A and B are shown apart, each in its own frame.
Chain A
Amino acid sequence: MISFPADTENELMELYKKKKIALEGNILKVVDTSNPDFRKYIEELKGKDVEQRRKRLTITKQIQDQNKDLTSAKEANESLMSDLQEALAESKKAKAEAEKIRDLAVEDLDTLQKRTQFELIGMIVKIALGVIIGVGILTTVIYGLAIISDKDTQIIGSTWSNMFGILLTNAFSIIGTIMGVKYASSDKKE
């Protein structure tokens, strides 16, 4: 504990009375005096000090709470941003997959259409070949019967000859078509 001389105590009290300049802080806790007026002065200042500290403590605690709230809000915001970015990445991934599936489906549909077309062409070609071979055989048989039965073969002979020429031309045309179709389908597979 410390104590001041009587005149210093009086000066301190005067200073406080006239100019409101006073001792403050923890020094007030170590001052000892036998002067009742100075004791009163010290007690008053102690009370003021406690009051000021209480105010400051309340405000500091409020700021601490606000800081905590801000920190929590910042963390929540960051977490939300992270979730959003993840969701965006997922969405992009899903879109890419959907586009890939759509492309595959379009490709499958295209292949299916082409396959159906090729099958139809194949069937037409087979029927056409059947008709050509059938007509060729029929004409040849009629021509042969005419020769065997010693009938006039002038008309049937020229007809057979013309027919065969036409049939051969058509047959080559059909073979060409078949080759073309096969070439196109083999190209597609590659």
Chain B
Amino acid sequence: MIDSILLVDDEDLFHLVFEDACSILDITLALQALNSSDEADRLFKNWFVEGPVEERPECVFVDLNIIGSSFDGIELIRKINHEYGNGVVIGIISSSDDYQEIQKAKSVGAQFWIIKSDEIEPRLIDFRKDYEGYKAKTLPFKVYR
């Protein structure tokens, strides 16, 4: 089970869906959800550069287009991986399956891409099976369709 997950997504309803699905599937013990990539960026800066590292999440799910934020999910992943130390399992969770965006996410160090749909649970079950591989950085980038 993952100790803590951070979800960055502008859709509040999805926070509830994701939290309940993760709890039912025993994926995580703690889940923090944010609406803005700016807020996530500020927290990561604090966790990785200025503050104690033990507070940081173990795994991060980022939406692709985060309405109301200064930058999108791919840019947030780039910042986390290249500016704040690349210390978490990180990937995109989005309703988009645009090939170019997927390649961009991969190029900035995203480890997975989960496609959001009405039935998110089967993809989360698959993700849970692969999680240790992502944590050990032995598993290649994967798209969960």
B-binding residues in A (CB < 8 A): 26, 29-30, 49-50, 53-54, 56-57, 60-61, 63-65, 67
Contact = CB atoms under 8 A, between A and B. Distances in A.
B49 interface: no
B22 to A, nearest CB: 10
B43 to A, nearest CB: 20
Candidate in A26, A56, A63, A65 with the most chain B CB atoms within 10 angstroms:
A26
Interface residues of B, number: 13
Summarize B's interface: helix, strand, loop or mixed: helix
Interface stretch (B11-19, B56-64, B74-82, B134-142): B11-19
B17 A60 contact: yes
B26 interface: yes
A64 B23 contact: no
Contacts of A54: 20, 24
Given A53-B23, A60-B13, A61-B118, 12 more contacts: A26-B30, A30-B29, A49-B23, A53-B20, A54-B20, A54-B24, A56-B20, A57-B17, A57-B20, A60-B16, A60-B17, A64-B13
B24 A63 contact: no
A49 B13 CA distance: 19
A67 B13 contact: yes
A65 B118 contact: yes
